[in-house]
Amino acid sequence: DVVMTQTPLSLSVTPGQPASISCKSSQSLLSSEGKTYLYWYLQKPGQPPQVLIYEVSNRFSGVPDRFSGSGSGTDFTLKISRVEADDVGVYYCMQSTYVPWTFGQGTKVEIK
């Protein structure tokens, strides 16, 4: 199975400051179709997850442009350019290039 490793596991950020979360996979997520099936989700307290980024760097409809995704192969990053209070929650990366689909452990983001 592909192991997804996120760092850090928790992050405390001052509003208006940037934040960055790393996600590393145990093998390349580049598929035979030439796509990289790496996603980022945010689970706000008491809610189901919601998709932020699909296929490494594409923002889902309605996601603010302060969120951006980058990376390739085995190394991926989610960046928040200016953290807002509404961004608190747990962020997960997920790969679906290989079955079983696997998630990272999650990164808890809180506001200072």
Partner 1 sequence: EVQLVESGGGLVQPGGSLRLSCTASGFTFSRYWMSWVRQAPGKGLEWLANVNQDGSLEQYVDSVRGRFTISRDNANNALLLQMNSLRVEDTALYYCARVGTGVVERGFDYWGQGTLVTVSS
Residues that bind partner 1 (CB under 8 A): 1, 35, 37, 39, 41, 43, 48-51, 54-55, 58, 60-61, 90, 92, 94, 96-97, 99-106
In the complex, minimum distance from the CB of residue 97 to partner 1, in angstroms, rounded to a whole number: 8
Q: From CA 48, how far away is CA 8, in angstroms rounded?
A: 22
- Residue with smaller CB distance to partner 1, 74 or 97: 97
- Residue with smaller CB distance to partner 1, 88 or 101: 101
The residue to which tokens 């889902």 are assigned: 60
Instruction: Write out the DSSP string of 31-43.
Output: -TTS-B-EEEEEE
Residue 77 φ/ψ, nearest 5 degrees: -140, 140
